[in-house]
Structure formats: structure tokens, C-alpha cells
Amino acid sequence: MRKSKHDIVKILDPEDVTDLTEAQREHYVSLGYQPCLLSSGRIKWLTPSQQVSTIVRTQSKYRFIPKKKPRISSYKRRKRGYSSPFKTFIRENWFFLVLIAMIIIGLLILIRYWNLIM
């Protein structure tokens, strides 16, 4: 899954945040969260470990090893062809159809050469 990326502008004082009730603010502070002002203007409550990971992530924009670029194929992908219902039925049930054909051939041989068997 994709992680959401955000740049921390500054860490705010919990008393400065006005969009939460006092009980919600106390709950977040008791869990160890601190309000942070993001570059988008939103206030997000983050733990110190989340703050460090976001700060480190924003500092590592330039890589020493460049990413591999995806290859662009020179041919177009083929679309899946339409197959008739009869062909799909034969393809899925070929074993049973061969078994039924062998039984019918066996019965025909028994009926035809009944005199030789008895």
C-alpha cells in the first residue's frame, strides 16, 4: 500500500489547536501525539517516531542510486480474444467427453459382436 507523504512545517503546541474539543486534545496528548502543521496547511497529530520518519523522508529526495525507469514496450499488448461457448465447453470438459465416447464405442462393440461373446 502507498504511504501518504507530508512535509512537516513546524510542531505546534497542543493548546494552540482549536479544531478539537478539550477531551479529544487530552486524549491525543495522553497517547503521545503532537500536533504538526503540514505544508498543505492541515494539522496532523503524529507520534515522535512518525515525525522523524516524515522528516527523514523529505530530506532523502535526492538518491545516490537512481531508480530504474520502466521500459516502454515497442509493441501493443494484445487484447484477449473472444472464444465461443462451445470451444470453452470442449476445452473444460474434454476428459469426460473422451470417457463417454469410449463407453459408447465399447457398448457398440458389445452389441455388434454379441454372438461371439456368448
Pairing mode of beta strands 8-11, 43-46: unpaired
> Domain ranges in the chain?
8-59, 87-117
Task: Report d(CA 113, CA 7) in Å as an integer.
Answer: 89
Q: Grid coordinates in use for 98? A: 473422451
Per-residue pLDDT in tens (0 to 9) along the chain, 118 residues: 445 566 777 888 888 888 888 898 899 889 889 888 887 788 888 888 777 655 545 555 555 566 666 666 666 666 667 788 999 999 999 999 999 999 999 999 999 988 887 7
